[in-house]
């Protein structure tokens, strides 16, 4: 196939505004947005979101700006609206083990109701229990019990008093003790000196009687203490029975208002039973006291806290399943936390200080996370992996183990959660996860793969126009004319570097919409037109192209040597692309080659020798050597040594897109046939000499065009590109205008042999379809014929050199003998 020069209409896709079907985008505002070009991702996303089984979490992969987050948010909201509202979650005081609060699920909205009822119950207890304990009937019964006790006690004391009186002792009760004193026969109390003045025998009798009296006192207390215990128990039972009747009605009302599952019903009934027992055990605190009333109130306040709930998840206002977007994930924000307060140097907490995280709030719904945010904290990532494995969430506060202040520990009951996690990441992260952690990858069974680009069609262009209409409507911007939208769509093709495919990175399009609208507002326009879009594009380029401009100026000033006129042997202009992230641009680079006779038959890649080339570039060089050896296999082995270098390139080379240009430079140096310097070359080659497509084509062509334009276009300048790259052309109108005027040319070739005649004005010497195994001799007046002649000369030179060395060895060997 001969060299083809492309016509201007082949250099760019031009979209006819009349085919879009609207005058301006205001006509499209009422139409719904769609997943433009993301049909595969859309089906996968909805399938995964609607799956109820565990481990069907979603891993969303794609480029930033492809709409992966915003579209998944819309899908999550849509699916969530048709799902049931999940239950509330609260934590309860554990009466048996306070440091292990109980978790309880309640139907949505009933958590708030239960909290309200228990708050009312606490107020009710503070007023009704004291009132109940002050009822006349209860007081009367209490007095009767106390009266019976006093009668029994008086009877026992009378017996003790009679015994004491019989032995001349007076006895009386003082603060729960028995005090007795000795009296004489007249009933007067004897003082200690008087007792000591008594005869010895009398004092001994008194001591015996005193011991007997103490024994009687002990027997008295043995009788009275059981009576006191019976009295106290009777009074407490009386009060508890009265209060229990009060509680039963209130607790029954609370039980009846909740619609719990069997498991939660059993747990809640046990909790209310323990609450009732705790209230009855502390009923004495509710009695008014004349002494230390403040202390009693504090104790009641502390007691009543136990009877409240900590509603950590309240879903009363939800209309469907929850949708949580966690923008700053941490252990506290995701898994929940426990708050502490310092009391006298000790960190204290209780069940009311438990706080839920996003995972608990998303129970029964969806939680979106960005993998980059999660991977910042390795502990968070490990904890999330364990959760995905067990589906059990344990709230803990790891920070307390790191502090030197003593802390009261708390271990809330673990909660089984059902939450679908939507993890946003890159393709690289997805496949690393598949390879390094297959167990975790199994938890993300749904792959939502967002395409970088898609095949353009009338439907996709209409959908893109609707996207522009919605962007204008939501931001309050002037709408776009059909011609302006057509220019936006052309830019989408330029971003994809493809005439048949459109870029799926709509964040770029949205940015261009905003900037074009700003250009329109600057001249007080009503509608954004093509000129506004063009101005926005040029303004964006001007903001970012300073490095490009500096390089162009260096070439124009001669600091970077690029020759674009005449012919040179072993020298050619290759094309490179420089990607700085915010701006990509192309530039020519001079590639030079030298050949000389040698025995190794290899090509020295100077970039590789100094560590400035990447593995893909090295691969291209090895392919080049292989093809060169195949071309001259009929005169093998080759007595050739060669070197190739990218002149004035100090930042490194990667990629194989210059291998075609390198091959031409090497062949020129070998054959001695000069190459046209006005034609730059890009393209990769394979082992059969076929030219393969490369990337960054538009930037490369425009970069070389800018150099030629500054030097002065005269119709001899152009580029040679792979034939398979034709559909990737989306060149600027400025370049197309020069092509139309015949000042610049775009050539395509399928095989390296086709480009030889264009670059040298000499025939190649073989056809692309020729079988190299059948080649015996190339024509003398062809480029390969000249190269063949030089290679044979190199072989003769090497043979002569080897013969001379052999003769020298023989001469010196015989001399030694």
pLDDT surpassing 90 at residue 57: yes
pLDDT surpassing 50 at residue 516: yes
The answer to whether residue 305 sits within a structural domain is no
Cα 606 to Cα 609, 618, 642: the distances in Å are 5, 11, 10
What are 421-450's pLDDT values in tens digits?
Answer: 999 999 999 999 999 999 899 999 999 999
- pLDDT at position 807 is 59
- 225-231: average pLDDT: 74
pLDDT surpassing 50 at residue 817: no
Who wins on pLDDT, 71 or 639? Answer: 71
pLDDT surpassing 70 at residue 400: no
Residue where one domain finishes, among candidates 448, 473, 506: 448
Residue where one domain finishes, among candidates 544, 571, 588: 544
Domain check: are 536 and 419 in the same one? no
- pLDDT at position 592 is 95
User: pLDDT exceeding 70 applies to what percent of the chain?
Assistant: 90
Domain check: are 566 and 431 in the same one? no
- pLDDT at position 186 is 62
Look at 209-213, 319-323, 505-509, 610-614 and tell me which has the smallest mean pLDDT: 209-213
Q: Provide the token pair at 341.
A: 């307060």
The answer to whether residue 640 sits within a structural domain is yes
The answer to whether residue 673 sits within a structural domain is yes
pLDDT surpassing 50 at residue 812: no
Q: Residue 195 — very low, low, confident or very high, per pLDDT cuts 50/70/90? A: low
pLDDT surpassing 80 at residue 305: yes
82-96, 202-216, 297-311, 650-664, range with greatest mean pLDDT: 82-96
Q: Provide the token pair at 275.
A: 């609450």
The answer to whether residue 712 sits within a structural domain is yes
- 25-34: average pLDDT: 93
Domain check: are 629 and 752 in the same one? yes
Domain check: are 593 and 659 in the same one? yes
Cα 788 to Cα 271, 441, 662, 785: the distances in Å are 98, 58, 18, 5
The answer to whether residue 140 sits within a structural domain is no
Domain check: are 428 and 464 in the same one? no
Q: What is the 3-state secondary structure (H, E, C) of 593-653?
A: EEEEECCCCCEEEHHHHCCCECHHHHHHHHHHHHHHHHHCHHHCCCCEEEEEEECCCCCCE
Q: Which helix (H) or strand (E) segment is 59 a member of?
A: strand 58-61
The answer to whether residue 134 sits within a structural domain is no
Residue where one domain finishes, among candidates 432, 448, 464: 448
DSSP label at residue 481: B
Q: Which helix (H) or strand (E) segment is 432 a member of?
A: helix 427-436
- pLDDT at position 125 is 86
| Cα–Cα distance, 492 to 503 (Å, whole number) | 5
What are 667-701's pLDDT values in tens digits?
Answer: 999 999 999 999 999 999 999 999 999 999 999 99
pLDDT surpassing 50 at residue 658: yes
- 749-771: average pLDDT: 90
Domain check: are 444 and 456 in the same one? no
Cα 292 to Cα 133, 236, 289, 405: the distances in Å are 19, 21, 7, 33
What are 337-381's pLDDT values in tens digits?
Answer: 998 887 777 788 889 999 999 999 999 999 999 999 999 999 999
| Cα–Cα distance, 509 to 25 (Å, whole number) | 15
420-425 and 4-5 beta bridge pairing: unpaired
Q: The domain spanning residue 466 has which CATH number?
A: 1.10.8.60
Active site residues: 657, 700
Domain check: are 600 and 684 in the same one? yes
| Cα–Cα distance, 423 to 372 (Å, whole number) | 10
| Cα–Cα distance, 626 to 608 (Å, whole number) | 17
Q: What is the pTM of this model?
A: 0.82
Q: Residue 816 — very low, low, confident or very high, per pLDDT cuts 50/70/90? A: very low
Q: Residue 399 — very low, low, confident or very high, per pLDDT cuts 50/70/90? A: low
Domain containing 667: what range? 561-780
Q: Residue 651 — very low, low, confident or very high, per pLDDT cuts 50/70/90? A: confident
Q: Residue 174 — very low, low, confident or very high, per pLDDT cuts 50/70/90? A: low
pLDDT surpassing 80 at residue 324: yes
- pLDDT at position 815 is 44
Domain check: are 580 and 675 in the same one? yes
Contact 326, 369 (CB under 8 A): yes
3-state secondary structure of 333: helix
- pLDDT at position 572 is 96
- 385-410: average pLDDT: 75
Who wins on pLDDT, 730 or 259? Answer: 730
- pLDDT at position 295 is 80
- pLDDT at position 39 is 94
| Cα–Cα distance, 152 to 131 (Å, whole number) | 30
The mean pLDDT value of the chain amounts to: 87
- 780-795: average pLDDT: 91
The answer to whether residue 738 sits within a structural domain is yes
Look at 20-24, 34-38, 571-575, 610-614 and tell me which has the smallest mean pLDDT: 610-614
Q: The domain spanning residue 774 has which CATH number?
A: 3.30.230.10
Who wins on pLDDT, 799 or 173? Answer: 799
- 56-60: average pLDDT: 96
Q: Residue 197 — very low, low, confident or very high, per pLDDT cuts 50/70/90? A: low
Domains in the chain, number: 3
pLDDT surpassing 90 at residue 133: no
Report the candidate in 449, 424, 319 with the shortest Cα–Cα distance to residue 369.
Answer: 424
The answer to whether residue 282 sits within a structural domain is no
Q: The domain spanning residue 438 has which CATH number?
A: 3.40.50.300
Could you tell me if residue 108 is left (phi over 0), alpha (psi between -120 and 50 degrees) or otherwise beta?
beta
User: pLDDT exceeding 90 applies to what percent of the chain?
Assistant: 60
Report the candidate in 312, 340, 348, 327 with the shortest Cα–Cα distance to residue 397.
Answer: 340
- pLDDT at position 811 is 47
Domain check: are 715 and 664 in the same one? yes
Domain check: are 583 and 637 in the same one? yes
- pLDDT at position 219 is 76
Domain check: are 761 and 630 in the same one? yes
Cα 157 to Cα 154, 180, 215, 222, 801: the distances in Å are 5, 13, 14, 12, 141
pLDDT surpassing 90 at residue 182: no
Contact 113, 88 (CB under 8 A): no
- pLDDT at position 408 is 63
- pLDDT at position 614 is 87
Domain check: are 664 and 653 in the same one? yes
End-to-end CA distance of the chain: 66
- pLDDT at position 424 is 96
What are 553-602's pLDDT values in tens digits?
Answer: 999 999 999 999 999 999 999 999 999 988 999 999 999 999 988 876 57
- pLDDT at position 463 is 95
pLDDT surpassing 90 at residue 510: yes
């Amino acid at each position: 196939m001969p060299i083809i020069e492309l016509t201007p209409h082949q250099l760019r896709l031009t979209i006819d505004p009349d085919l879009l079907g609207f005058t301006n985008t205001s006509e499209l505002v009422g139409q719904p947005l769609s997943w433009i070009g993301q049909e595969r991702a859309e089906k996968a996303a909805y399938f995964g979101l609607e799956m109820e089984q565990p481990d069907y979490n979603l891993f969303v992969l794609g480029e930033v700006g492809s709409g992966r987050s915003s579209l998944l948010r819309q899908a999550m909201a849509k699916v969530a609206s048709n799902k049931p509202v999940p239950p509330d979650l609260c934590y309860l005081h554990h009466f048996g083990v306070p440091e292990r609060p109980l978790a309880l699920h309640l139907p949505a909205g009933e958590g708030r109701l239960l909290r309200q009822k228990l708050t009312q119950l606490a107020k009710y207890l503070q007023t009704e229990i004291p009132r109940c304990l002050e009822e006349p009937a209860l007081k009367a019964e209490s007095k009767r019990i106390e009266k019976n006790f006093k009668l029994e006690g008086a009877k026992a004391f009378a017996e003790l008093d009679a015994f004491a009186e019989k032995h001349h002792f007076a006895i009386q009760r003082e603060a729960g003790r028995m005090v007795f004193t000795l009296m004489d026969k007249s009933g007067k109390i004897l003082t200690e000196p008087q007792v000591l003045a008594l005869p010895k025998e009398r004092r001994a009798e008194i001591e015996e009687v005193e011991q007997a009296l103490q024994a009687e006192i002990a027997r008295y207390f043995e009788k009275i203490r059981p009576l006191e215990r019976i009295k106290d128990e009777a009074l407490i039972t009386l009060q508890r029975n009265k209060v229990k009747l009060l509680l039963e009605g209130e607790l029954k009302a609370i039980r009846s208002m909740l619609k719990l599952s069997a498991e939660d019903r059993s747990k809640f009934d046990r909790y209310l039973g323990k609450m009732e027992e705790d209230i009855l055990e502390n009923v004495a605190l509710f009695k008014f006291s004349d002494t230390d009333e403040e202390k009693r109130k504090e104790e009641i306040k502390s007691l009543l806290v136990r009877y409240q709930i900590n509603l950590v998840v309240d879903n009363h206002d939800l209309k469907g399943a929850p949708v949580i977007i966690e923008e700053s994930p941490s252990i506290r924000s995701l898994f929940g936390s426990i708050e502490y307060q310092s009391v006298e140097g000790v960190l204290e907490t209780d069940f009311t200080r438990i706080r839920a995280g996003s995972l608990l709030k998303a129970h029964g719904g969806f939680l979106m996370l960005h993998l980059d945010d999660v991977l910042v904290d390795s502990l968070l990532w490990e904890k999330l992996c364990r959760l995905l494995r067990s589906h059990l969430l344990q709230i803990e506060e790891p920070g307390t183990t790191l502090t030197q202040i003593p802390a009261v520990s708390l271990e809330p009951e673990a909660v089984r959660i059902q939450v679908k996690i939507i993890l946003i990441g890159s393709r690289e992260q997805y496949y690393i996860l598949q390879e390094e952690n297959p167990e975790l990858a199994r938890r993300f069974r749904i792959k939502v793969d967002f395409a970088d680009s898609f095949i353009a069609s009338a439907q996709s262009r209409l959908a893109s126009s609707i996207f522009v209409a919605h962007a204008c409507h939501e931001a309050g911007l002037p709408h776009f004319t059909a011609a302006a939208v057509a220019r936006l769509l052309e830019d989408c093709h330029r971003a994809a570097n493809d005439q048949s495919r459109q870029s799926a990175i709509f964040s770029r399009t949205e940015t261009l919409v905003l900037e074009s609208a700003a250009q329109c507002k600057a001249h007080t326009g009503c509608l954004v037109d093509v000129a506004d879009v063009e101005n926005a594009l040029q303004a964006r380029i001007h903001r970012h192209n300073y490095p490009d401009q500096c390089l162009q100026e260096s070439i124009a000033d001669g600091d970077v040597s690029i020759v674009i006129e005449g012919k040179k042997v072993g020298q050619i202009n290759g094309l490179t692309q420089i990607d700085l992230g915010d701006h990509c641009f192309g530039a020519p680079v001079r590639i030079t080659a030298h050949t000389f006779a040698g025995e190794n038959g290899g090509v020295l890649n100077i970039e590789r020798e100094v560590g400035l080339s990447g593995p893909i570039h090295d691969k291209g060089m090895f392919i080049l050597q292989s093809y060169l050896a195949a071309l001259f296999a009929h005169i093998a082995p080759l007595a050739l040594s060669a070197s190739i270098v990218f002149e004035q390139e100090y930042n490194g080379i990667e990629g194989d897109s210059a291998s075609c240009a390198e091959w031409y430079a090497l062949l020129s140096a070998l054959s001695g046939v000069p190459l046209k310097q006005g034609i730059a070359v890009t393209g990769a080659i394979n082992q059969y000499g076929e030219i393969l497509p490369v990337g960054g084509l538009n930037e490369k062509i425009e970069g070389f065009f800018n150099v030629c334009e500054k030097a002065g276009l005269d119709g001899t300048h152009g580029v040679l590109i792979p034939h398979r790259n034709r559909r990737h052309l989306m060149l600027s109108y400025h370049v197309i205008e020069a092509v139309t005027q015949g000042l610049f040319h775009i050539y395509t070739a399928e095989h390296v042999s086709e480009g030889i005649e264009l670059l040298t004005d000499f025939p190649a010497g073989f056809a692309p379809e020729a079988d190299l195994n059948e080649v015996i001799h190339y024509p003398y007046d062809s480029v390969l014929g000249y190269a063949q002649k030089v290679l044979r000369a190199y072989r003769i030179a090497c043979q002569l050199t080897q013969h001379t060395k052999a003769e020298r060895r023989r001469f010196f060997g015989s001399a030694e003998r």
